[in-house]
Amino acid sequence: MYTEHGGAIVLCAFFSEMLGAIGYHVAAYTNPLDALAAFERDPHAYDLVVTDQTMPGLTGKELVVKLRVRRTDLPIVMCTGYSEHLDEAKAKALGADAFLSKPMDMNRLLAVVAQLTQRPGTADSKNPAG
Protein backbone atom coordinates (compact mmCIF):
# COMPACT_ATOMS: atom_id res chain seq x y z
CA MET A 1 0.00 0.00 0.00
CA TYR A 2 1.15 3.50 -0.64
CA THR A 3 0.21 6.78 0.87
CA GLU A 4 1.31 10.30 0.04
CA HIS A 5 0.21 12.47 2.95
CA GLY A 6 0.65 12.10 6.70
CA GLY A 7 -3.00 11.22 7.28
CA ALA A 8 -2.85 8.66 4.50
CA ILE A 9 0.22 7.05 6.11
CA VAL A 10 -1.91 6.58 9.20
CA LEU A 11 -4.54 4.85 7.05
CA CYS A 12 -1.88 2.58 5.57
CA ALA A 13 -0.76 1.63 9.08
CA PHE A 14 -4.37 1.18 10.21
CA PHE A 15 -5.31 -1.15 7.35
CA SER A 16 -2.04 -3.08 7.81
CA GLU A 17 -2.71 -3.53 11.52
CA MET A 18 -6.29 -4.63 10.91
CA LEU A 19 -5.22 -7.24 8.35
CA GLY A 20 -2.43 -8.38 10.66
CA ALA A 21 -4.86 -8.71 13.56
CA ILE A 22 -6.87 -11.34 11.70
CA GLY A 23 -3.86 -13.40 10.70
CA TYR A 24 -2.46 -11.89 7.53
CA HIS A 25 1.27 -11.19 7.29
CA VAL A 26 1.48 -7.66 5.91
CA ALA A 27 4.38 -5.86 4.26
CA ALA A 28 3.34 -2.21 3.99
CA TYR A 29 5.23 0.28 1.87
CA THR A 30 4.64 4.01 1.64
CA ASN A 31 6.83 4.32 -1.46
CA PRO A 32 5.83 2.41 -4.60
CA LEU A 33 9.43 2.08 -5.78
CA ASP A 34 10.39 0.42 -2.48
CA ALA A 35 7.40 -1.90 -2.81
CA LEU A 36 8.36 -2.82 -6.37
CA ALA A 37 12.00 -3.44 -5.38
CA ALA A 38 10.91 -5.75 -2.54
CA PHE A 39 8.57 -7.59 -4.87
CA GLU A 40 11.25 -8.00 -7.52
CA ARG A 41 13.65 -9.47 -4.94
CA ASP A 42 11.15 -12.22 -4.08
CA PRO A 43 7.98 -12.12 -6.20
CA HIS A 44 6.58 -15.33 -4.71
CA ALA A 45 6.72 -13.99 -1.15
CA TYR A 46 3.46 -12.12 -1.77
CA ASP A 47 -0.05 -13.55 -1.97
CA LEU A 48 -1.85 -10.27 -2.70
CA VAL A 49 -1.10 -6.61 -3.43
CA VAL A 50 -3.27 -3.65 -2.47
CA THR A 51 -2.21 -0.45 -4.19
CA ASP A 52 -3.38 3.10 -4.53
CA GLN A 53 -3.53 4.76 -7.94
CA THR A 54 -2.04 8.13 -7.02
CA MET A 55 1.60 7.81 -6.00
CA PRO A 56 4.75 9.81 -6.77
CA GLY A 57 7.30 8.14 -8.98
CA LEU A 58 5.03 5.28 -10.05
CA THR A 59 1.26 5.23 -10.43
CA GLY A 60 -0.87 2.31 -9.37
CA LYS A 61 -1.56 1.54 -13.03
CA GLU A 62 2.17 1.42 -13.74
CA LEU A 63 2.76 -0.75 -10.68
CA VAL A 64 0.09 -3.25 -11.75
CA VAL A 65 1.66 -3.58 -15.21
CA LYS A 66 5.12 -4.18 -13.69
CA LEU A 67 3.80 -6.74 -11.20
CA ARG A 68 1.93 -8.61 -13.94
CA VAL A 69 5.17 -9.08 -15.89
CA ARG A 70 6.53 -11.21 -13.03
CA ARG A 71 3.33 -12.74 -11.62
CA THR A 72 0.21 -13.16 -13.73
CA ASP A 73 -1.42 -15.13 -10.90
CA LEU A 74 -0.96 -12.49 -8.18
CA PRO A 75 -4.25 -11.02 -6.91
CA ILE A 76 -4.13 -7.21 -7.07
CA VAL A 77 -6.55 -4.71 -5.55
CA MET A 78 -6.51 -1.17 -6.97
CA CYS A 79 -7.80 1.69 -4.84
CA THR A 80 -8.51 5.29 -5.75
CA GLY A 81 -10.63 8.25 -4.92
CA TYR A 82 -12.54 9.94 -7.70
CA SER A 83 -10.59 9.67 -10.94
CA GLU A 84 -11.41 10.48 -14.53
CA HIS A 85 -8.60 8.14 -15.55
CA LEU A 86 -9.41 5.02 -13.55
CA ASP A 87 -12.58 3.13 -12.78
CA GLU A 88 -13.35 -0.52 -12.12
CA ALA A 89 -13.44 -1.52 -15.80
CA LYS A 90 -10.13 0.19 -16.54
CA ALA A 91 -8.48 -1.27 -13.43
CA LYS A 92 -9.57 -4.76 -14.41
CA ALA A 93 -8.41 -4.23 -18.00
CA LEU A 94 -4.95 -3.41 -16.61
CA GLY A 95 -4.91 -6.67 -14.68
CA ALA A 96 -6.33 -5.74 -11.28
CA ASP A 97 -8.60 -8.36 -9.76
CA ALA A 98 -10.60 -5.90 -7.66
CA PHE A 99 -11.23 -2.17 -7.48
CA LEU A 100 -12.11 -0.22 -4.34
CA SER A 101 -13.13 3.42 -4.21
CA LYS A 102 -12.04 5.68 -1.40
CA PRO A 103 -12.95 6.30 1.22
CA MET A 104 -12.57 2.57 1.79
CA ASP A 105 -14.80 0.62 4.08
CA MET A 106 -12.77 -1.75 6.26
CA ASN A 107 -15.34 -4.54 5.99
CA ARG A 108 -15.31 -4.26 2.19
CA LEU A 109 -11.51 -4.38 2.10
CA LEU A 110 -11.49 -7.43 4.37
CA ALA A 111 -14.11 -9.17 2.25
CA VAL A 112 -12.18 -8.52 -0.98
CA VAL A 113 -8.89 -9.68 0.56
CA ALA A 114 -10.55 -12.82 1.95
CA GLN A 115 -12.15 -13.56 -1.41
CA LEU A 116 -8.94 -13.10 -3.38
CA THR A 117 -6.84 -15.11 -0.94
CA GLN A 118 -9.64 -17.66 -0.37
CA ARG A 119 -9.42 -17.21 3.39
CA PRO A 120 -11.99 -16.13 5.93
CA GLY A 121 -11.27 -12.51 6.73
CA THR A 122 -14.32 -10.40 7.36
CA ALA A 123 -14.50 -8.32 10.50
CA ASP A 124 -16.86 -10.96 11.91
CA SER A 125 -14.42 -13.81 11.28
CA LYS A 126 -13.32 -15.59 14.45
CA ASN A 127 -10.78 -17.93 12.84
CA PRO A 128 -8.51 -16.36 10.23
CA ALA A 129 -6.57 -19.56 9.53
CA GLY A 130 -7.40 -21.08 6.24
Model pLDDT for residues 20-42, shown as the tens digit of each residue: 999 999 999 888 999 999 999 99
pTM: 0.81
Lowest-confidence pick of 19-33, 60-74, 75-89, 114-128: 114-128
b/e burial code for range 51-68 (CB count within 10 A of at least 16 → b): bbbbbeebbbbbbbeebe
For every residue of 84-130, DSSP letters joined together read: SS--HHHHHHHT-SEEEESSPPHHHHHHHHHHHHTS--STT-S----
> What is the reported pLDDT for 8?
61
Residue ranges and CATH numbers for the domains of the chain are 6-117 (3.40.50.2300)
